[in-house]
Amino acid sequence: MLKMNALVPELIVADLTRSLHFYCEVLGFAIEYQRREDDFAFLSFGDSQLMLEQDWHSDSPWSVRPLDPPLGRGVNFSIRCPDIQALVSSLNEARISLRKPVEERWYRQDEQLYGERNFLVQDPDGYLLRFAQSLGSRPLPAE
């Protein structure tokens, strides 16, 4: 039985088939289960999970209308990735451009710095995905 994370975003998409191609064939997500009768899929990528559901184009308590593209404005989803370069290569092969190129960043948390290599890409509906590969941690430099 699938163990669901405590928080799993559900994204409403315009075309589930197109989104599944992007998430599974290009990015490497796995379909954990699917309800074709509901145009719904539950996906995973490492320890990350998300749900995709095709837009019903009707009133639903699960969405706030209007759903104008690009969707997901004001939010980005950070997804841990073991190999940033392999993912970027897959996106390049699919001719999908990055919204922000790969960069190395170090973020302070108390007296430690945590590093990552990351980039941003938009999915076919405009949701912003931030893939991040850990570079480990180091002490905060003395001032």
List, for residues 89-99, the tens digit of each pLDDT value: 999 999 999 99
pLDDT, mean of residues 3-29: 96
Query: Would you say residue 142 has pLDDT above 90?
Result: no
Burial of 12 (0-12, 13-18, 19+ CB in 10 A): buried
Strand (E) or helix (H) holding 133 = strand 128-139
Q: What is the tens place of the pLDDT at every residue in 38-67?
A: 999 999 999 999 999 998 777 776 676 677
Q: Where are the domains of the chain?
A: 10-56+76-139
Q: What is the tens place of the pLDDT at every residue in 19-41?
A: 999 999 999 999 999 999 999 99
Beta-strand ranges (E) seen in 10-127 are 10-13, 30-35, 40-45, 48-54, 76-80, 100-109, 112-122
Write down the pLDDT at residue 2.
87
Q: How far apart, in whole angstroms, are the C-alpha atoms of residue 35 and residue 90?
A: 27
Q: Which two tokens stand for residue 117?
A: 């290599």
Q: Report pTM.
A: 0.89
Class (C level, CATH) for 10-56+76-139: alpha beta
Closest CA to 82 of 134, 32, 38, 29: 134
Write down the pLDDT at residue 57.
72
pLDDT, mean of residues 105-128: 95
Query: What's the DSSP call for residue 130?
Result: E
Closest CA to 75 of 4, 9, 5, 7: 9
